[in-house]
Structure formats: C-alpha cells, structure tokens
Amino acid sequence: MGPSEGSAGFIRPDIAKIAPYQPGKRASEMRREAGFERMVKLSSNESAWPPFPKAQRAIKAIASRLNRYPDSYSGVLRARVAGHMGVPEEQICLGNGSNELITFIAQAVLGPKDEAVFAWPSFVVYPIVSQLMGARAVKVPLDDGWRHDLAAMAEAVTKKTRMLFVCNPNNPTGTIVAKDEVARLLDAVPEKCLVVFDEAYFEYVDDPDFGTGMAHFDGERPVVVLRTFSKMYGLAGLRVGYGAFPVWLAEAIEKLREPFNVNMAAQIAAFYSLDERDEVVRRAEATRRGRRRMEEALAALGVRYATSQANFVCFAVDDGPAVFSGLVSRGVIVRELGGTGMLRATVGTEEETETFVSALGDTLAELSGGRAT
C-alpha cells in the first residue's frame, strides 16, 4: 500500500483542503536556477542586517549549555518583555514566532461554524488557522489605497464572528490604519469578538497617526497585540514572537503551549536585543531611507505602489509572473503574490536596493506591454 492509498481514511477532510504556507524562494534555490553566484533576496521581509551585537555575543556565550533544556516558561525574557510593553507579566505570551501565537489564539477561540474576519490580501496565516479550526474565513477587500477598510470589516462581523485580525502595518501592502479608525472599529465590534492587532513591523513606522492596538489594551477587554523579534531585531532564524494578551486568554494559551517552545538561544538573544535601543533607531532610519528610495524609483517608472510604513514595498504591474522572472534573471528575488499582478520587495541594504531599482527598470523596459497598471 502506497502512502496516498492509506491517507484517505486518516486525514481530516478540512485539513486536506488547506493550502500549506509557501515561503519566499530561497536564495540557494534561485542561484541554481538563475546561474548567479549571489542573489539579492528581497522576498521574505527579513532584516537587511544581522542580529544586534549584544545578541550575537550572548548566543556564542551559551553554546556550551545547549545540551540542557531552556526555561520552559521563558521567565527572564517574559519579565523583560513585560517591562518593554508596559504590562504585567501575566499578560505576556511568548511563541516560536508570532505565527505560533496566532495558531494558539485560533485554537483557544475558534471552533466549527465560527467566523474570523480579516482584510485581504493580508497575512496568509489568517485563513490557514481559520480553516484549521473549521471556522469560516471572511475576507474583506482592501480599499482603493490598498489599506484595511475597517468600516467594511466591522460590517462583516456577524453573530458567528469570534475573531477579527488587523495587520498593521499590513503585510503585503505595508499600509497602516489610523488612530481614529481603530477607535471606531473597537466601538463597533461586539465584546464577544476578539480583535487581534498584528504589529510585526511597527518599529519601522514613522507616521504619528499610526493606530497601535496598545492604545486600547487593558488586559481584560478582548484585544491582543502581537509583535516579533524576527524583523527589526534580525532574529528570524531563531523565531521569537511575543504579545500582550488579556489575562483570560493568556491562561488558556498556557494550556495549549508546548513545553520549551522558545529555545535557549532565542530567549537569550531576544533578551539582550532589547538593550540596544540606539541600534533600533539607526536601523529604522536606514530602512526608511531605503523605502523612500524604492518608492521614488517606482514613481519614476510609472509603477503603482502602496505607500509603505514597513520594511518592504508592494507594487503592481501588468504581468506579475513575467516581472518576477525578469528580476530573477537579473539576480533579484522578490515575492510574487499569486497572479494578482502585485509584487512585494523587502528593503535591503543600500547596495541591494540599487540592484533592485536597476533590475526592475531593465525588466520593465524589456517586457513588451510591461508598463505598470
């Protein structure tokens, strides 16, 4: 009996329908395909810089202790994060990336026949975790500016809605929602609906009207604010997500969490990363300069793009796959968004940004009918 013959009676039908998460193309894979010694990888919204110096030193210092299990509760890091977010420790949850925390939330809150509302396109994990729990994923289109339409999202809430995601800044567009929009949303959404603010890119924001969920978090009302060490802090390879949770939800997640879900190196690297505030400021400003350079280049090429507050820029062309291939052939990997004509490019180093700008210009010039929409 082959593997496919024996699977039909074992795998839940709702699981079989879920499309697995597809990460950005690996640089090593694309080097082989394109024949380049080095590819500029701008497809996964990773930091252009390595972990902070204190974090690197801390990782090296604990190398000889990796035969031991980490602190399962991540107590030292949890206390540090609580101080960083300005909330009590019992309102902090830590995960193997914020993806894991999103999964925990869905497991704790969603069930069959429930609904989860979110903007679309947005973070691809939201529909996956909704389907995983047998809930209905309700996708609300972005507005004409590629922003969350929070009024339409509030209208999409029904008696079955148990969760609403706000990705702010939004992935893949980089757009934000404003303070007054967030306030109106929370006034409109019933208390039985948990509102999850996914703020993985908040450190890159320079718009003073940014509507962070922390302005409405009190540890009791159904509001969660998620953040991560993967982006600004350059720890994507270690996976440390964190967030502020209502006490009642944090207690439920402790029941769902696997022991030792945040490894020793991740805990200590995240702890010491929070020491380096000056480096956060420096890297945020460098990213904003790169972001502005990419947006200026897109405007000069006549390419429609979303004004971003994240570490990436989203843009639209007539033929997304063709532009993606043209960039790869010139040594640049971006994210092609499922045949929508939209592509997303991470802000890299100055050299990487200039390589992207040059490659995009050459690609659009080469393609017949390749002008932006």
Residue 281 has pLDDT above 70, yes or no: yes
CA 11, CA 318: separation in Å to the nearest integer?
40
Q: Where are the chain's structural domains?
A: 10-50+278-366, 53-273
| 297 vs 8: which has the higher pLDDT | 297
* 300 in Cβ contact with 351 (< 8 Å): no
Among 203, 209, 200, CA closest to 179: 209
At residue 27 the predicted structure's pLDDT band, cuts being 50, 70 and 90, is: low
What is the second-level CATH architecture of the domain 10-50+278-366? Answer: Alpha-Beta Complex (3.90)
Alpha helices in 147-306 (DSSP H): 150-156, 179-188, 247-256, 264-273, 277-300
Task: Write the DSSP string, 277-288.
Answer: HHHHHHHHHHHH
CA 180 to chain centroid: 23
CB 91 within 8 A of CB 250: yes
Question: Across the chain, what does the average pLDDT equal?
Answer: 93
Task: Mark out the alpha helices in 176-221 (DSSP H runs).
Answer: 179-188
What is residue 3's predicted lDDT score, i.e. its pLDDT? 52
pLDDT at 15: 73
Q: For residue 182, what are the CA distances in angstroms to 66, 105, 176, 193, 259?
A: 43, 21, 10, 15, 35
- Is the pTM here over 0.95, yes or no? no
The predicted pLDDT at position 14 comes to: 73
pLDDT single digits (tens) 223-253: 999 999 999 999 999 999 999 999 999 999 9
Q: 304 φ, ψ to 5°?
A: -75, 135
Distance CA 92, CA 225 (A): 10
Strand, coil or helix: what is 26? Answer: coil
Confidence of residue 370 (pLDDT cuts 50, 70, 90): very low
Q: How far is CA 372 from CA 136, 331, 344, in A?
A: 35, 21, 14
Can you tell me the distance from the alpha carbon of 218 to that of 91, in angstroms, rounded to the nearest whole number?
A: 9
55-84 pLDDT tens trace: 999 999 999 999 999 999 999 999 999 999
Fold type of domain 53-273: Aspartate Aminotransferase; domain 2 (3.40.640)
Cα 1 to Cα 9, 12, 16, 79, distances in angstroms: 13, 20, 20, 52
**How many CB atoms lie under 10 A from the CB of residue 117?**
27
DSSP 81: H
- Average pLDDT (19-46) is 72
Q: How many helices (H) and strands (E) does the chain have?
A: 14, 13
In eight-state DSSP terms, residue 178 is B
